[in-house]
Structure 1
C-alpha cells in the first residue's frame, strides 16, 4: 500500500510492470463502499494469485483506492487500520464489530455485504 513513488535514475518514475498496471486498474474499478479480496482481483484478471496482487498493492497501491482491495477475512490492513477505517466510514462500506477482545476495537469489513463481484 505504500506506493513510495521512487524515481529511476534521471528523475523519471520507474516503469510500472504490466501486471501491476492491470491490478491497479481493477482497484480503480471497485465502487466506493465495496471491496474485492486479493484473490478476487487475481481471479478477475485470470492471472496471478492473492500474494502477487498483495505485492502489487504494497509496492504501487498508494495511487489508487488501496483500501478497496482487502484480505478475505475482512481484517483491516495491519498498520493502516485507522486510515482504511476513515475511508470505509466516509464511503459507507459495511462493517461489523470486532468479535473478540483480542481484536481490539477495530471493526472488520462485513465481507458478505461489502464484497463486489466485478459486475
Structure 2
C-alpha cells in the first residue's frame, strides 16, 4: 500500500496530524510503538482521572530512556516519555504542564532560537 504521509508517534500531536491529513483524503500511516485500545476496551488506569495510575504503568512508557541533564555533560536522568496511542495525554489524565521559564531560556541560550520564555 502507498501512503502520502507516514507519521511516527501516535501521541497527541501525531494523532491530530493523522486525523487532519486523512480527513482531506490523504493516505496516512500512523506508527506507534505502544499499545492501542479500541474504544470499548480502554484500560481502567487510562480512564481514571487520577493520573498516577496510568503514569506509573511501565507498559505505557519507554523503558530506560535517558537524556543528558546539561549540554556536554555525562550525567543522564530517566526521561519519561509515553509509549501508547494518545501519548502523554493518555497517561497524564489529559493535563498539560507548561515548563519552567528557565528551561526555555536555557534552550534558547544553547541554540534553539525562538524557544526562550
**Normalising by the residue count of structure 1, what TM-score does the alignment of the two structures yield?**
0.29
> When you count helix as a share of all residues, which structure comes out higher?
1
**Normalising by the residue count of structure 2, what TM-score does the alignment of the two structures yield?**
0.30
> When you count strand as a share of all residues, which structure comes out higher?
2
